[in-house]
Structure 1
Amino acid sequence: MRYALYLPPFGELADPGVLADLSARAENAGFDGVFLWDHVVRPRRPGLAVCDPWIALAAIAARTERIRIGTRITPLSRRRPHDVARQAVAIDQLSAGRFILGVGLGAANGGELSKLGEADDARTRAEMLDEALDVICRLWSGEPVDHSGEHYRVDGLQFLPRPVQRPRIPIWVAAQSVRPRPLRRAARFDGVCPETTPDGLREMLRSIERSRGGLRDYDVAVGGAPGDDPAPYREAGATWWLVQFPELTSVHEVTAAIDRASR
């Protein structure tokens, strides 16, 4: 099992330089990755500072050499797929092929979507997620893309350079239940970010395994609070343990968790 930090880029952590410093410290302590929440505002906390995770990931890429980095998760319904494709390739280049794109529907979070004019209907967001994933993967191919869908359009455009990683940047997909559609979506890609119990994870992985024909080289990234025991999830099939911090987290709390892990 690999170990990573899962950081909320808010409050004291709403600074790319701070996140880069913490990531470098985590790498030196032996962690295998750093992943960031992807939000643009927190309506329930109007005075809370928020950092753009993509800019922060670029800073982290420049300060580290080994750890995997990425979003967990990016709600693709509120980001243009061609922008995500471009930004992801840039971070993949800057990190020498260490970027992972975590995606999902996201959540309304007190109006985070609707108050910015974004789609907040779950069915619509699921349609946009599936279509955006198709567009992004095709753009990463480096071949000319023609796409005319319900939500997105590409008229014969070619995106270069291609990602450093081949055949493409790994994609992890969020799933919170054993409903077929999210699990089929997760099975099409390179990993799953489940939010469930160990028994729930076993059931989810059985479904994904049936769809894929196996789980070889498939990432399963679960999260838990500092001090939680990852063993039940490891036994259930998890391959990554993400030390997950709450929305309001101080720099001291993260450094303390890193220092405990390095002992």
Structure 2
Amino acid sequence: MKFGIAIPNCHGDYADIHLTTEVAHEAEEAGWDGFFVWDHIGDKWGDEVLDPWVMLTAMAMRTQRVKLGTMVTPVTRRRPWKLAREVATLDQLSNGRVILGVGSGGGIEYINYHEPGDVKTYGERMDEALELLSLLWSGERISYQGEYYQLENVRHLPRPVQQPRVPIWVGGVWPNHKPMRRAARWDGVCPIGKNVNMTGQMTPEQAQACFEYVASQQTADQADQPFAKVQWGRLDGKDRGYDTALVSNYAEVGVNWWIENLSWERGTLQELRSFIRQGPPR
């Protein structure tokens, strides 16, 4: 089991670039394996929003080992070629420590900014965008003609350190099947349970059902590749024995990445530093 921290890139002191960077350093020192940030550009929770890629770049400069990434990037409100450059550059800077979490997104970040498309086409656009990311990270010269994206005679260098690509983890609401079928084609799944709030989490039984469905959608070759099965979870933080037992229950159903979901609903980032400094329940 690997353990990560996920924090918002918005609201209160979560939008303090100096504090968030220092906390990422402290998380690595405490033994966490990953540090992830939300990817919002304009938010219903307030006007204080940091750019996630600048955040992650600052964190890369203050860490050596911990994995870094987004949970999750709404790919369809990004230009795939720009996102490809950002991720590849960060992977170079961090010496191959980037994980790209992706989702379809929606809401005010599309409506208020008059982003094109609609919820019925977000999934189709994301499938094309993910294919493009993988092609661009190959470093080969490519042309691409899709329904939503077109490229002609382009080559992206330098390649990411990680090959054949930076790992792509797909988020989605379980038990919706479409995002889980998408996840089966990539490198990991980050399910959020339907009607589970920001301080809750899916049960082991729900997680197991999700993972079994994803596995049923994979080819034999896909099933043989490393695959992240993420629990978007919440530890108690006070009873180490309880937390160890809780994590063990999820490990038994296949969870191999525990991402601790921190937000203002559990406290300010300053208040949660002591929890992070405890480290994960190995």
TM-score (norm 2): 0.86
The alpha carbon displacement at 1:247 in A equals 4.5
Q: Deviations over 1:189-219 (max 9, x none)?
A: 1111011332222122112222223365211
AA aligned opposite 2:211: L
The alpha carbon displacement at 1:234 in A equals 1.9
Residues 144-153 or 247-256, more deviating: 247-256
Query: Do the aligned partners of residues 123 and 255 (structure 1) sit closer, same or farther apart at CA in structure 2, a change above 3 Å counting?
Result: same
Name the structure 2 match of 1:242. 259
TM-score (norm 1): 0.92
User: 1:133 and 1:30 mapped to 2: Cα distance?
Assistant: 31
User: 2:264 and 2:129 mapped to 1: Cα distance?
Assistant: 27
Name the structure 2 match of 1:37. 38
AA aligned opposite 1:259: R
Kept in 2, the 8 Å contact 1:226–1:257? The answer is no
AA aligned opposite 2:262: F
Query: Do the aligned partners of residues 231 and 262 (structure 1) sit closer, same or farther apart at CA in structure 2, a change above 3 Å counting?
Result: closer
Aligned to 2:217, the other structure's residue is in SS state helix
Name the structure 2 match of 1:101. 100
Q: Deviations over 1:61-119 (max 9, x none)?
A: 111000001001000011110011000001001100000000011231xx221010114
Name the structure 2 match of 1:218. 227
Report how many residues are paired: 259
Name the structure 2 match of 1:253. 271
Unmatched 5+ stretches in structure 2: 194-201, 237-242
Kept in 2, the 8 Å contact 1:172–1:191? The answer is yes
Q: Deviations over 1:26-58 (max 9, x none)?
A: 00001101000000111x344x41110110000
Name the structure 2 match of 1:58. 57
Percent same amino acid among aligned pairs?
A: 37
Q: Deviations over 1:116-166 (max 9, x none)?
A: 011463221111111100111111111111112221111111111111001
Name the structure 2 match of 1:165. 162
AA aligned opposite 1:255: R
Name the structure 1 match of 2:122. 125
Kept in 1, the 8 Å contact 2:3–2:280? The answer is no
User: 2:212 and 2:250 mapped to 1: Cα distance?
Assistant: 14
Unmatched 5+ stretches in structure 1: none
Name the structure 2 match of 1:116. 113
Aligned to 1:189, the other structure's residue is in SS state coil
Kept in 1, the 8 Å contact 2:233–2:261? The answer is yes
AA aligned opposite 1:208: V
Q: Hey, which bits of structure 1, 4+ residues long, moved more than 4 A?
A: none
The residue correspondences of 1:146-165 to structure 2 (distance < 5 A) are: 146-165=143-162
Name the structure 2 match of 1:83. 82
Aligned to 1:4, the other structure's residue is in SS state strand
